[in-house]
Chains A and B, each alone.
Chain A
Amino acid sequence: MLGIIKQKARCGVFPSSTVGQTLQRVRLSLFALRNYSTAPKEMTVREALNSALDEEMSADPKVFLMGEEVGEYQGAYKISKGLLEKYGPDRVFDTPITEAGFTGIGVGAAYYGLRPVIEFMTFNFSMQAIDHIINSAAKSNYMSAGQISVPIVFRGPNGAAAGVGAQHSQCYAAWYGSCPGLKVLAPYSSGDARGLLKAAIRDPDPVVFLENELLYGESFPVSAEALDSSFCLPIGKAKIEQEGKDVTITAFSKMVGYSLQAADILAKEGISAEVINLRSIRPLDRSTINASVRKTNRLVTVEEGFPQHGVGAEICASVIEESFGYLDAPVERIAGADVPMPYAANLERMAVPQVEDIVRAAKRACYRSAPMAATA
């Protein structure tokens, strides 16, 4: 392997920037040969987002960041740490508490060629600005017949955190995902976060970027490729986190982690689960999901939001439309409870999907469990 890589490098097949990476990989593999354990570089989601913002802002002077507490406070969740010092108050704006106002300002700036990144302290606050996100941003390219494009990114934490009550815990993936004209992304790992945020900032259309507060502090290994400043993930492609052959589990954001844990538990019981990280809610990667279901013949969709009209409902409909003949069992939908998020800790745990719920659903789909009534 070493010889082949050296040969390729001499032939100039790899562009020079990747030679360094290749050599690094070679070094790593050498270490592996010598049985040294070198951990691949780990990065928290927070660092990933921060580095992505940093790199995009330095690459393009039209990119600016606007939101509450993004400057002097270093970001309400410290995502924009250090950016004010580096880029100054002309590019990192602390706003007053006027979501409708500053979202509108961002959209207007985007109409005229700037590339704003608007941060909502949580996506719940985006409801105060939703008129601008949908009516001013999402619909503009269509209404103007292509004359006005809106290269804006709306980002912030989405979904439930810990004990923050009903008004801070809603998941907006389904709401924004139903709106034509918007692209909706939901990263899981640090690599996802970096690649998708960079893609979003470079994208000429409005992108709703749904992060998750509880994932900010989690570390994931990142490949050297992901650390490169031109690293971009494609929008609209899901990732198969783990291959399997018995049941397909689709999830996004935090639920991907839960699904992977569930897949481990299922593996011990002889069920091999294929876990798909959706990454992109709109456009939804129907072809990957359908290909997977045609392989495994069973589907479990997992999401944190409310069940009715949720992401799982759309996936279910898509699969039934395109792969009905391949389904061996009804599609199982796991979603949050159909109630506003309660505050009490035990009720909150019941209102959000847990790993056991995913395991039970997968088993039901594989006809390996007791009837549903007994497990309720």
Chain B
Amino acid sequence: MSSAFPAMKILQPLSTTRSPEKPLFDLLKSPSSFLGSASKLRFNAQKPSPSSSYSSSCHRPSTIVAVSDVVKEKKTLKSNSSLSNLLITKEEGLELYEDMVLGRAFEDMCAQMYYRGKMFGFVHLYNGQEAVSTGFIKLLKQEDYVCSTYRDHVHALSKGVPARAVMSELFGKTTGCCRGQGGSMHMFSKEHNLLGGFAFIGEGIPVATGAAFTSKYRREVLKEAGCDSVTLAFFGDGTCNNGQFFECLNMAALWKLPIVFVVENNLWAIGMSHLRATSDPEIWKKGPAFGMPGVHVDGMDVLKVREVAKEAIARARRGEGPTLVECETYRFRGHSLADPDELRDPAEKARYSARDPITALKKYMIENNLVNEAELKAIERRIDEVIEDAVEFGDKSPLPSRSQLLENVFADPKGFGIGPDGKYRCEDPKFTEGTAHV
């Protein structure tokens, strides 16, 4: 990667004594602003970029930025809400509610199915964190990318993967979104631009950064008009101590990639408390160290998350670069269905259960006369039917056939590559006979 952009390696923090007339380096021939910040830096004194208030690669900003102020403002608005100051319309509210209920009902059904033996292996449930997934993903378009970890069922559902496909994948059936070959931790969907599904924490962050890189590359190097896809990378508090996280924060800020790093800080990494594992537990502070805004938001409140998400995603879409959003949230169940969950204090669990995002949204909508109980009940019933249907579909689906074991190892059917005629070599009978020219 770095070899394609040699200019990046030589970039040093600019000293203010350098005069704008004198070019930084002569090698910088390409006019493309993708090479970055380098071309902006050359003329830094002459054309201050509008985004320099947030960050520019050459000096680090000193404070956390305006985004959290946006949230604070909206918060006060919310508390004395009159109709014109509401954060959502009725339709948006119903959409958010439905998505969160879908996530919750699906995960509860997963637990049931696991204990009945229909699901196996590692299953990590998302109960309690729905506000983060719904708050962010519902603002995305189909072309935007989502990259997640093993706790990915609800990210898949929010992104649009049908509940049937996810459920039958969990059952290990051939109608699953990955034909039963991936499983709970490895959900991929090309159609919905869901990049996975990675079991190794920290693994998804560089992949997400790569997706953001692609969208920027397409726009600026390949000149594809209108390509402004944003990537969301979801990961947890434990991941924030992993080297890959810091490496990607650096590169995303350096190249102003259209990505939002969403930390789902649920305070626990299996049995390891965030406070025991991290020298500075405030993860949002790590953003400005790399030159991007860091925002802290209450992840149990879908409306607050949505406000922050709007700003972060819009920022990325405008080309101003990445944002680090720390959502303080909580998982109501253990790390996985095999985790006895003995180390967490029941008082802590009770405190967070009282802040259940679904109940909170319901309360907000009813208090502000956006909906009535009956409409919400109708949604819940509809979701129950969707889940039941998904389970039935999964049950009835066939197991993968024996021949599927060896399929999909390569994109190229037998792994022999493309021949000089442009077709797969394995289709050339002479190749397999050993008489073809290699």
> Which A residues lie at the B interface, using CB under 8 A?
68-69, 72-73, 76, 94-98, 100-101, 124-125, 128, 161-168, 337-340, 342-347, 350-351
Contact = CB atoms under 8 A, between A and B. Distances in A.
B243 A100 contact: yes
B270 A73 contact: yes
B181 A76 contact: no
Contacts of A346: 172, 399-400
B277 A96 contact: yes
Contacts of B404: 342, 347
Nearest to B340: A73
A130 B272 CA distance: 23
Main SS class of interface, A: loop
Contacts, number: 121
Contact of A167 (B199, B243, B402, B409): B199
Given A72-B343, A94-B277, A165-B184, A351 B405 contact: yes
Contacts of A162: 120-121
B405 A167 contact: no
Contacts of B173: 344
Given A94-B276, A98-B242, A345-B172, A350 B202 contact: no
A167 B185 contact: yes
B294 interface: no
Main SS class of interface, B: loop
A100 B182 CA distance: 26
Contacts of A342: 180-181, 400, 404-405
Nearest to B171: A344
A97 B243 CA distance: 9
A105 to B, nearest CB: 13
B106 interface: no
A231 to B, nearest CB: 32
Interface string B79-107: 00000000000000000000000000000
B198 interface: yes
Contact of A97 (B242, B406, B409): B242
B183 A343 contact: yes
B304 interface: no
**3 nearest A-B residue pairs (beta carbon):** A163-B121, A343-B183, A73-B271
B121 A347 contact: no
| Residue from A96, A101, A162 with most neighbouring chain B CB atoms (10 Å) | A96
Contacts of B238: 96-97
B181 A97 contact: no
B122 A124 contact: no
B285 interface: no
B202 A97 contact: yes
Contacts of B243: 98, 100-101
A49 to B, nearest CB: 19
Contacts of A96: 238, 241-242, 269, 272, 277-278
B239 interface: yes
